[in-house]
């Protein structure tokens, strides 16, 4: 038989190297994705161009509807509806660029971004996930205050200025549009790419740091980083971005109420 044919030296040919064990850090086939760093750069550049174009269009549309908005002393930021539409445009651009790059440029599938239904037990676990994230945020917020007492955050003032006491409109922006876009971008797109090249916890930590940094809130950087790491792990275990979208939405909805109806600290 050919498999038993000896070489001229009389020895059997060497066996091929054994495949790496399952779970080895060198095995990334399970988490391989078709996008790479160039898509990250295109997401930033293309998203910025598209959003600026849409934002300018919104400003012009607002001027056509309400010319007085351009008078001295007036401000677009006082228009709750404009703020909502602007936030939806920002989140929509971020999510749309991800879908364009992954589905069209790279011919990927929605499942590669976690856009697939999880097992039912993950829906049942949502209250526990949100409670654990809330507890983690409180602990990290306390630690951050002790480590960086001079750090500040104007998130409360920004949300109040944008939506006043309009909880329903604020809910659409903060607990619907933002979680959907942020989970698709930071967990499905960014963490998904990092996980294909790094150990899971390293990918979760890096994506969490970036998630905290882009919010530009120094006092909240550590808690936000914790949220990013936690949701990345939940996504990794559940295999579905819908789980983290819902958990993120519930978390934001719970925390929006005191922001709008209690004094900022």
Boundaries of domain holding 107: 33-261
Radius of gyration of the chain (CA): 24
**pLDDT of amino acid 1:** 47
Is the predicted pLDDT of residue 93 greater than 70, yes or no?
yes
**Rounded CA separation 254/190 (Å):** 26
Is the predicted pLDDT of residue 99 greater than 80, yes or no?
yes
Residue 67 banded pLDDT, cuts 50, 70, 90: low
- Number of domains, the chain: 1
The closest alpha carbon to 227, from 242, 245, 243, 212, belongs to 212
In a domain, residue 20? The reply is no
Is the predicted pLDDT of residue 3 greater than 60, yes or no?
no
In a domain, residue 152? The reply is yes
The closest alpha carbon to 102, from 115, 113, 90, 114, belongs to 113
In a domain, residue 153? The reply is yes
**pLDDT of amino acid 188:** 97
Residue 222 banded pLDDT, cuts 50, 70, 90: very high
In a domain, residue 199? The reply is yes
What is the token pair recorded at 159? 């949300």
**Residue 213's CB: how many other CB atoms inside 10 A?**
14
The closest alpha carbon to 129, from 239, 238, 255, belongs to 238
**Rounded CA separation 22/163 (Å):** 51
Which residues does 10 contact at the CB level (< 8 Å), separation at least 6?
none
**pLDDT of amino acid 12:** 56
25-29, 83-87, 176-180: segment of lowest average pLDDT: 25-29
H-only helix segments in the chain: 37-65, 80-99, 120-124, 126-147, 155-163, 167-172, 178-182, 192-195, 200-214, 221-238, 241-261
DSSP 8-state code for residue 263: -
Mean pLDDT, rounded, of the chain? 85
In a domain, residue 21? The reply is no
Residue 178 banded pLDDT, cuts 50, 70, 90: very high
pLDDT digits (tens, 9 = 90+) for 126-157: 999 999 999 999 999 999 999 988 888 888 88
Alpha-carbon 244 to chain mean position: 9
Contact yes or no for 199/175 (Cβ under 8 A):
no
In a domain, residue 237? The reply is yes
pLDDT digits (tens, 9 = 90+) for 8-27: 555 555 544 544 444 444 44
In a domain, residue 6? The reply is no
pTM, rounded to two decimals: 0.83
- Residue linked to tokens 């949100």: 130
**pLDDT of amino acid 11:** 56
Contact yes or no for 234/247 (Cβ under 8 A):
yes
**Rounded CA separation 41/57 (Å):** 24
**pLDDT of amino acid 53:** 87
In a domain, residue 25? The reply is no
């Amino acid at each position: 038989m050919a498999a038993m044919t000896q070489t001229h030296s009389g020895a059997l040919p060497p066996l091929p190297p054994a495949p790496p064990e399952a779970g080895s850090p060198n095995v990334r086939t399970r988490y391989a994705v078709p996008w790479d760093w160039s898509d990250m750069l295109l997401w930033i550049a293309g998203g910025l161009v598209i959003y600026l174009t849409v934002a300018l269009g919104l400003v012009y549309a607002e001027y056509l509807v309400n010319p007085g908005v351009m008078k001295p002393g007036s401000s677009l930021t006082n228009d709750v509806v404009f703020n909502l539409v602007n936030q939806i445009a920002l989140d929509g651009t971020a999510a749309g660029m991800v879908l364009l790059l992954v589905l069209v440029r790279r011919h990927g599938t929605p499942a590669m971004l976690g856009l697939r239904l999880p097992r039912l037990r993950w829906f049942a676990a949502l209250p526990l996930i949100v409670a654990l994230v809330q507890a983690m945020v409180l602990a990290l917020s306390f630690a951050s205050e002790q480590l960086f007492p001079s750090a500040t955050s104007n998130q409360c003032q920004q949300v109040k200025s944008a939506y006043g006491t309009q909880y329903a409109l604020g809910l659409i922006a903060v607990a619907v549009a933002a979680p959907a876009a942020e989970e698709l971008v930071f967990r499905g797109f960014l963490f998904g790419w990092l996980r294909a090249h790094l150990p899971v916890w390293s990918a979760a930590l890096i994506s969490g740091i970036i998630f905290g940094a882009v919010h530009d809130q120094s006092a909240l950087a550590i808690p936000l980083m914790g949220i990013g790491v936690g949701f990345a792990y939940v996504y990794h275990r559940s295999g579905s971005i819908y789980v983290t979208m819902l958990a993120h939405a519930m978390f934001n909805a719970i925390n929006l109420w005191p922001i709008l109806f209690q004094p900022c600290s």
